[in-house]
Amino acid sequence: MRIGLFGGTFNPVHNGHVTLARVAKTGLKLDKVIFVPAYIPPHKDAALIIDAKDRLCMIELAIGKSAGFEISRYEIDKEKKVYSVETLRHFKDTCPEDTEIFFLAGADSLPELGTWKDVDKIFTLCRFIIFSRPGFSKDNSKLKVETIDMGEVNISSTRIRECIRKNNPIGDMVPKQVADYITENNLYKQVR
């Protein structure tokens, strides 16, 4: 079995995340892509992140019943900071022995990757796949990562939150159900 683990804050989940998952599933011939939302991401300010239950609901809305897409509550259910190496060990221990794990990340993760906890161990547990993103370097000469070109998808959660604060439309950046959820729950009006 070949599975892709797609970890992140998903604050909020957007069309770029969904596109990355689809490109990964097809391009890497994955049996499934598992979204793994963080409870408290190690490299981000927790004060800027909305509640995990809202982020989880939005991922559920974004992927719907898409074949081969799942969500893991592993990190959220821990209700604490969980490092990627711990998540990878969990999946290594709970998946069938012949499972090949691909860790999926956007190019915006690459500059910080060298600071991740037990980064060398991470590379022994999975194939680390970086998806290109406009404005971010794809240089991976120091790290054992593979790069996949995702084209001109240039959406960021930061930009979406900024648009919401300024009352600008976000409909072209997030699935409609996610935009509706954000509006109905008055999310991101105060979060940067």
Partners of residue 5 on adjacent β-strands: 34, 103
Give the CA distances from residue 163 to residues 8, 12, 46, 156, in Å, rounded to whole numbers and listed in that order.
21, 12, 20, 11
Give the predicted TM-score (pTM) of the model. 0.92
Task: Give the per-residue pLDDT at 148.
Answer: 85
Task: Give the per-residue pLDDT at 189.
Answer: 85
Written as one letter, the residue type at 105 is A
- Minimal CA–CA distance to 182: which of 2, 22, 13? 13
Task: Give the per-residue pLDDT at 139.
Answer: 59
Q: Count how many residues are written for the chain.
A: 192
Task: Give the per-residue pLDDT at 191.
Answer: 63
Written as one letter, the residue type at 11 is N
* Spans of all domains in the chain: 2-155
Which pairs with CB-CB distance under 8 Å and at least 24 residues apart come from 142-145? 142/114, 143/110, 143/113, 143/114, 143/119, 145/110, 145/113
Task: Give the per-residue pLDDT at 110.
Answer: 82
Per-residue pLDDT of the chain (192 residues; tens, 9 = 90+): 999 999 999 999 999 999 999 999 999 999 999 999 999 887 777 777 999 999 999 999 999 988 999 999 999 999 999 999 999 999 999 999 999 999 999 888 888 888 899 999 999 999 999 987 666 555 555 678 888 887 767 788 999 999 999 999 998 999 999 999 999 999 998 765
Partners of residue 41 on adjacent β-strands: none
Task: Give the per-residue pLDDT at 127.
Answer: 96
22/156 Cα distance (integer angstroms): 17
Check if the beta carbon of residue 40 is closer than 8 Å to that of residue 46.
yes
3-state secondary structure of 25: helix
Task: Give the per-residue pLDDT at 99.
Answer: 97
Task: Give the per-residue pLDDT at 133.
Answer: 64
DSSP H or E run through 111: helix 110-113
Out of 3.10.110.10, 3.40.920.10, 3.40.50.720, 3.40.50.620, the CATH code matching 2-155 is: 3.40.50.620
Residues 6+ apart with CB under 8 A from 66: none
